[in-house]
Protein backbone atom coordinates (compact mmCIF):
# COMPACT_ATOMS: atom_id res chain seq x y z
CA UNK A 1 0.00 0.00 0.00
CA UNK A 2 2.88 2.51 0.30
CA UNK A 3 2.71 3.40 -3.39
CA UNK A 4 -0.91 4.54 -3.23
CA UNK A 5 -0.12 8.01 -1.87
CA UNK A 6 2.25 8.94 -4.71
CA UNK A 7 -0.46 9.95 -7.24
CA UNK A 8 -1.79 12.41 -4.68
CA UNK A 9 1.55 14.19 -4.59
CA UNK A 10 1.80 14.72 -8.36
CA UNK A 11 -1.72 16.14 -8.81
CA UNK A 12 -1.97 19.89 -9.12
CA UNK A 13 -3.75 21.73 -6.40
CA UNK A 14 -5.26 19.79 -3.54
CA UNK A 15 -4.13 16.26 -4.40
CA UNK A 16 -4.44 14.90 -0.88
CA UNK A 17 -7.83 16.53 -0.46
CA UNK A 18 -9.03 15.05 -3.75
CA UNK A 19 -7.95 11.55 -2.67
CA UNK A 20 -9.77 12.05 0.63
CA UNK A 21 -12.89 13.21 -1.21
CA UNK A 22 -12.85 10.27 -3.65
CA UNK A 23 -12.27 7.75 -0.86
CA UNK A 24 -15.10 9.07 1.29
CA UNK A 25 -17.58 9.58 -1.57
CA UNK A 26 -18.41 5.87 -1.40
CA UNK A 27 -16.88 4.84 1.89
CA UNK A 28 -18.34 1.32 1.94
CA UNK A 29 -16.88 0.38 -1.44
CA UNK A 30 -13.54 1.93 -0.52
CA UNK A 31 -13.29 -0.03 2.72
CA UNK A 32 -14.33 -3.21 0.89
CA UNK A 33 -11.51 -2.74 -1.63
CA UNK A 34 -8.93 -2.12 1.07
CA UNK A 35 -10.16 -5.15 3.04
CA UNK A 36 -10.01 -7.30 -0.11
CA UNK A 37 -6.40 -6.33 -0.77
CA UNK A 38 -5.42 -7.08 2.82
CA UNK A 39 -7.43 -10.31 2.79
CA UNK A 40 -5.70 -11.54 -0.35
CA UNK A 41 -2.29 -10.64 1.07
CA UNK A 42 -3.08 -12.48 4.31
CA UNK A 43 -4.38 -15.47 2.35
CA UNK A 44 -1.20 -15.71 0.30
CA UNK A 45 1.05 -15.44 3.33
CA UNK A 46 -1.17 -17.78 5.36
CA UNK A 47 -1.16 -20.38 2.60
CA UNK A 48 2.63 -20.26 2.35
CA UNK A 49 2.94 -20.77 6.12
CA UNK A 50 0.38 -23.58 6.06
CA UNK A 51 2.19 -25.46 3.29
CA UNK A 52 5.54 -25.01 5.01
CA UNK A 53 4.14 -26.22 8.33
CA UNK A 54 2.53 -29.24 6.69
CA UNK A 55 5.80 -30.16 4.93
CA UNK A 56 7.72 -29.85 8.19
CA UNK A 57 5.24 -31.99 10.14
CA UNK A 58 5.20 -34.64 7.42
CA UNK A 59 9.00 -34.74 7.27
CA UNK A 60 9.17 -35.29 11.02
CA UNK A 61 6.65 -38.13 10.94
CA UNK A 62 7.70 -39.94 7.75
CA UNK A 63 11.33 -40.09 6.74
CA UNK A 64 11.57 -39.09 3.13
CA UNK A 65 14.64 -38.86 0.93
CA UNK A 66 15.77 -38.88 -2.67
CA UNK A 67 16.90 -42.51 -2.28
CA UNK A 68 13.32 -43.38 -1.27
CA UNK A 69 12.00 -41.69 -4.42
CA UNK A 70 14.46 -43.53 -6.66
CA UNK A 71 13.56 -46.91 -5.15
CA UNK A 72 9.82 -46.41 -5.52
CA distances from 67 to 54, 70, 72 (A): 22, 5, 9
pTM more than 0.85: no
pLDDT band of residue 35 (cuts 50, 70, 90) is: very high
Q: Which residues contact 60 (CB under 8 A, 6 or more apart)?
A: none
pLDDT band at residue 18, thresholds of 50, 70 and 90? Answer: confident
Domains in the chain: boundaries: 2-71
CA distance 38 to 19: 20
pLDDT above 90 for 5: no
Distance CA 24, CA 2 (A): 19
What is the average per-residue pLDDT within 20-49?
90
Q: Which segment of 21-25, 40-44, 45-49 scores lowest on mean pLDDT? A: 21-25
Amino acid sequence: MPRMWKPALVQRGAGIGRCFQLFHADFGASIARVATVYGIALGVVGTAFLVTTYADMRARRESFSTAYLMAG
